Structure 1
């Protein structure tokens, strides 16, 4: 997974496919690998982006985990990658950010 620095954090993410952007946000205690099956099924129609939220997977957690911070990180990631606008899907904690 590549990394990007946003909001003082280093985020690991996976990007695959082409088409409209689809940001995939994982649940508490998991990471972006949760979406591997969905990425395989959707990457022919979407640019799929799955990240490890701060404090999860291989992403850093220097500033603490709040829902606002995690949502701001996701927006900053898409902005830095030039992938806005985006469709967003999430499960559990990730769904709260939608």
Structure 2
């Protein structure tokens, strides 16, 4: 099914517009809570832990306040010769630093 919310966040990811509607730090906190409860219940946690790490990386790399769409930055890879170590996250969007 089509999701208008996914279109909004996808457009933000493509444009680099990370003005907060739902802040990265808020979702990071929520994921930490979900992961903790899953562990206590003995439920599988691989997916939530992967998401938790991705959002934590986005917060650590770019700070807050930024919208959850900024998580895409945690998945971008810097090509060799672009001002950082090969394989590091690459700055993108209008909030990227030169």
TM-score, L = length of structure 1: 0.27
Between structures 1 and 2, the one with greater helix share: 2
TM-score, L = length of structure 2: 0.27
Larger radius of gyration: 2
Between structures 1 and 2, the one with greater strand share: 1
